[in-house]
Structure 1
């Protein structure tokens, strides 16, 4: 597929989302959405993220329904290993009381990990399949069919995940401290004097807002750079297979690490929001 484009066109094609929007002509896709303004749906990001979320729910439900107290099967043992790992992380990092945190942490870790693992799929495989479906099924030019299969390379998704964590931080802060306590936290720290209220508010607001943005940008930046390197490797011709293999092996450590960091920072941020002093 790389031979059909120049290198810059090839990279641009692989880093472009499949888009859907509405216009005067009804529902339109991809290039027709370039002047659509703000409200554009990245249907590949939505499709893969929702599909992987459903896979996670189905798999863990299947294991839970078939779990035995005797010698577990390989899949049950693997799921129990993940569950114990996340449960231990929550117990060591979250110092409040909430029945939501452990399931939330498990969901974040497994869901983000599954989305990250899509980075190991050969970069030409899914776009080529999508192009063939568009060409033979809908009469489209394959060059106008886009497919980004790694949802976490889309800043919209990582920001959405981080905003969910941010709203939970606000919720727990108000629930534990009350509106008054949350307001005092924003206005009387770190300088406990009324004259420093404006300074405190600016500093604490920046700190509060920086947490979700750092979550979103860290995950997006690492996965986007990783996918870009895979795409660049695909342009080198005959040497791409060993280079792809070496980079993929390295990512067997990096991809779970990014999911773990996102999960741990979520736990820490919610633990800080739940402190009642």
Structure 2
């Protein structure tokens, strides 16, 4: 901590490195619409590229003979996601399974960054002149809301694909009470419509933010007790990392299936 108070230490680790597009300056903790969180963007795009590279490498090394460990792992993930999608989304779509696979692997890798020691990456980057860096993209609402808003766009698109433009708006205005209670239908459907991306984003953010905060609190303790508390929490968190990715993926597929099917 080197002279920092506990509050300053935690605040430092939860501060993004921002690029102010209006002034072209890079500064920590800046707020406003025209600010980009450079650490979140670099980490999320880097992890997305890592996901693509791993699966490309597995496809390149695939063999009909005895598969290697990488091929086994990738095939297990693909089969698991494909089975989950087939049980949830019953219509035919060439996009849903790849979308679900991308969401699961991308969110999983993003969450996995929480298992890296708290001070490791910031210490390395601090020696290179970068004072602020959040390794965990899932602790940034911009990342989680970016994913959920993309899902919202797909919900609208699949609703129109499954029901047509007229059918989509007719169901939105008349379900569940019929045309005579249109105002109530509109309010209920609008609340449900907006609650889906909000709940997706906040669920992922809240769980990972709480986990990151506990890791930060443990790191404030004396070194001889950090391992005693940090190791069990990290083992438990190994279950949380894939679980949150799985929940985000399943809810996305469920929402798209609900939007596509006629009621």
- TM-score normalised by length of structure 1: 0.92
Deviation at 1:3, TM superposition (A): 3.5
Gaps of 5+ in 2: none
Q: Given the alignment of the two structures, is residue 68 of structure 1 paired with residue 63 of structure 2, yes or no?
A: yes
Aligned-CA RMSD value: 1.2
What corresponds to 2:33 in structure 1? 38
Contact preservation (8 Å) 2:58, 2:70: yes
1: CA distance between counterparts of 2:8 and 2:205?
22
Alignment of 1:46-125 (within 5 A): 46-125=41-120
Q: Given the alignment of the two structures, is residue 5 of structure 1 paired with residue 9 of structure 2, yes or no?
A: no
2: CA distance between counterparts of 1:266 and 1:276?
18
2: CA distance between counterparts of 1:233 and 1:216?
26
What corresponds to 1:139 in structure 2? none
What corresponds to 1:257 in structure 2? 243
What corresponds to 2:191 in structure 1? 206
What corresponds to 2:24 in structure 1? 27
Contact preservation (8 Å) 2:122, 2:133: yes
Deviation at 1:184, TM superposition (A): 1.2
Contact preservation (8 Å) 2:218, 2:230: yes
What corresponds to 2:127 in structure 1? 132
Deviation at 1:95, TM superposition (A): 1.4
- TM-score normalised by length of structure 2: 0.97
What CA deviation, in whole Å up to 9, does each residue of 1:174-227 have, x standing for no partner?
1110111111111111101x3200110110111011011100000000001111
Secondary structure class of the residue paired with 1:4: coil
Secondary structure class of the residue paired with 2:81: helix
Gaps of 5+ in 1: 135-141
Give the length in aligned residue pairs.
262
1: CA distance between counterparts of 2:171 and 2:209?
36
2: CA distance between counterparts of 1:45 and 1:242?
30
What CA deviation, in whole Å up to 9, does each residue of 1:217-255 have, x standing for no partner?
000000011111101100001211221111110011111
Contact preservation (8 Å) 2:21, 2:36: no
Deviation at 1:66, TM superposition (A): 1.1
What corresponds to 1:228 in structure 2? 213
What corresponds to 1:138 in structure 2? none
2: CA distance between counterparts of 1:161 and 1:38?
18
Alignment of 1:240-251 (within 5 A): 240-251=226-237
Of residues 201, 208, 211 in structure 2, which corresponds to 1:216? 201
Runs of 4+ in 1 over 6 A off after TM superposition: none
2: CA distance between counterparts of 1:38 and 1:180?
35
2: CA distance between counterparts of 1:150 and 1:255?
12
What CA deviation, in whole Å up to 9, does each residue of 1:32-90 have, x standing for no partner?
x73x6321110000000000000000110110111001111111101111111001000
